[in-house]
Chain A
Amino acid sequence: MIDDATVRHVARLARLHLDDDEEHRMKEELSTILDHVDAIQALDLDDVPPTTHVLALENVMRDDVPHPSLSADEALREAPEVVEQRFAVPRFEP
């Protein structure tokens, strides 16, 4: 029910590289799982509202008060590559 092209399309949307073997297995496994979850297609849900939150919360607001934040050095501490106090990324073409 799910074909190679769909697997490749979804992997691209998810920014996920899959090798040929993974792609093949993904197609099989997603098909099995989707066959199972397709049980919900048979339900009549026309008059049922979707759940957006399990408890009826009102919008939660807080006062907009400035707090100390991380220093630039701290924020960059775990970065794999830093150039001139910035996160470095590979080149990309728009």
Chain B
Amino acid sequence: MTALHERTARDLVRALHAGEVGAAELVDAHLARAEDDRWGSFLAIDAERARARAAEIDAMPERPPLGGVPIAIKDALSTRDLTTTAGSRILEGFRPLYTATCVERLERAGAIVIGKTNMDEFAMGSSTENSAFQPTRNPWDPGRVPGGSSGGSAAAVAAFQAPWALGSDTGGSIRQPAALCGIVGMKPTYGAVSRYGLIAFASSLDQVGPFTRTVGDAALLLSHIVGRDERDSTSLDWPEPVAVPSAEDLRGLTFGVVGELMGEGVEPGVRAAVEAAVARVEELGGSVREVSLPSSAYGVSTYYLIAPAECSANLARFDGIRYGPRHEDAADLLEHYERTRGDGFGPEVKRRVMLGTFALASGYYDAYYLRAQKVRTLIRRDFDAAFAETDFLLSPTSPTVAFRFGERIEDPLSMYLSDVCTIPVSLAGLPAISIPCGLSEGLPVGLQIAGPAFSENRLLDVAHALEGALAFAPAPPGVA
């Protein structure tokens, strides 16, 4: 019999409803692993509250839909009374007054939050090394990063500390760490999930989404968080319920392999694993052709103007007045702002706030911010053209496998380029999923499947069919 912590969320929900296991036992099994700090996945664990909630659910005459299954939450999502820092000193010890809508929906459905996961400060980074508090280790190799910015959520799920987790994705922060940790990560269509209670990084790009070990679990988690929320005016009425995927073949579907994302800069081992997955797509009856997204070459440049510009505005609120630590010795209000922010923000956040303030400043706005928004239009048009002749697009999720600590942190641009495959999809607001498709040098490789807006159900079906054919065993050696 498979140990409780190794089972999928769907299986655990079924077992809870069948009376084979209780929420208390499940929460204990996962807390025991979460409290093992080998990987540095968690910033806060709330064992007391999780156990109390489990007892409450176990005593209910009828279990809620998710039955009392544990979940880990990225620390960018506000949880009432439970410290929420977004990985930043400027929010050290902060206890929100409300819970993010997506977390509230999950709790109402019977999920139990066991803790908050580590992340790059304010979700700015691709390795979780920018966390102000601790590094997170990749369960496949503790000398390597888990990816980022949602590295704690990815490591927690890969190391069986939680059956599933929530993350947020602005330029790849769910998909890239999922790829580097050998699990499933999905960024839904922009607006699918309410951003209320998500600490904002770049508001035209931010989306919440699932980390899971199977595509079926991703569908189940997504089904509980999508939909309109009147507290987020960009959230959408969801066109159809998110269904649990069941497809076993890909007959009748056309797949475009993105030429620009299979060439230079992609490690040979990553390319080989993705090419092998493309061969599986054909074996399952899908037809494959090469497509071009010519403007995607400008994706990273465009993103690193738009996202910092938006972050420089969003992070203006961190001023040490209403919450968070403040600089104590300022002579006047201006110095108070400058010193509080100078003390509270780490190097990458400062860099992005500076870059964004520059791009929006008088004299630079037209040449930088406005031009970037125009290039964004070109990138969106490329996707429209590609989806006119294909149903889904395939590429690596990350051009490399997990890299070593310290390898890129001193060279910001090299870190930025690790999001080259995920950024164009983000700029176009489209849904994409990363599924593990093999190993290179003993480390997981992720395949990114992107679809048109609102294609989540079909996307999950495709990923499910392919997951079956790829038969990737999600357990890092020595972890289970």
Interface residues of A (CB under 8 A from B): 2, 6-7, 9-19, 22, 26, 29-30, 32-34, 36-41, 43, 45, 48-55, 57, 60, 62, 70, 74-75, 77-81, 87, 89-93
Contact = CB atoms under 8 A, between A and B. Distances in A.
Contacts of A36: 300-301, 304, 413
A14 B334 CA distance: 11
Contacts of A6: 358
Interface in B336-388: 336-339, 341-343, 345, 347, 350-351, 353-355, 357-358, 361, 367-368, 370-378, 380
A18 B336 contact: no
Interface majority SS (helix, strand, loop, mixed), chain B: helix
A12 B341 CA distance: 12
Nearest to A43: B375
Contacts, number: 170
A17 B371 contact: no
Given A29-B412, A80-B325, A92-B333, A51 B351 contact: no
A30 B355 contact: yes
Nearest to A22: B350
Contacts of B320: 80
Contacts of A93: 332
Given A14-B312, A29-B351, A92-B332, 11 more contacts: A15-B316, A15-B341, A17-B343, A22-B347, A29-B412, A39-B301, A48-B378, A78-B95, A78-B324, A80-B325, A89-B336
B333 A89 contact: yes
A36 B333 CA distance: 36
Interface residues of B, number: 70
Contact of B374 (A37, A48, A57): A48
Contacts of A50: 370, 373-374, 376-377
Contacts of A18: 342, 350
A9 B358 CA distance: 9
B453 interface: yes
A12 B358 CA distance: 11
Contacts of B337: 15
Nearest to B330: A90
Contacts of A54: 190, 204, 380, 427-429, 453
Given A48-B377, A50-B376, A51-B380, A10 B326 contact: no
Given A43-B298, A48-B378, A14 B354 contact: yes
Interface of B: 94-95, 97, 189-191, 204, 230, 233-234, 236, 297-298, 300-302, 304-305, 312, 316, 319-326, 330-339, 341-343, 345, 347, 350-351, 353-355, 357-358, 361, 367-368, 370-378, 380, 412-413, 416, 427-429, 453
Nearest to A79: B322
A30 B375 contact: no
Most buried by B among A22, A80, A87: A80
Nearest to B297: A39
Nearest to B417: A36
Nearest to B93: A78
Most buried by B among A33, A34, A49, A90: A90
A89 to B, nearest CB: 6
Contact of A16 (B338, B371, B378): B338
Given A75-B97, A80-B326, A55 B355 contact: no
Contact of A60 (B233, B347, B368, B375): B233
Contacts of B305: 37, 40
A54 to B, nearest CB: 3
21 contacts: A12-B338, A15-B334, A26-B351, A33-B355, A33-B413, A36-B301, A36-B413, A37-B300, A37-B372, A39-B301, A40-B298, A41-B371, A43-B375, A45-B371, A45-B374, A48-B377, A49-B377, A51-B373, A55-B236, A55-B453, A78-B94
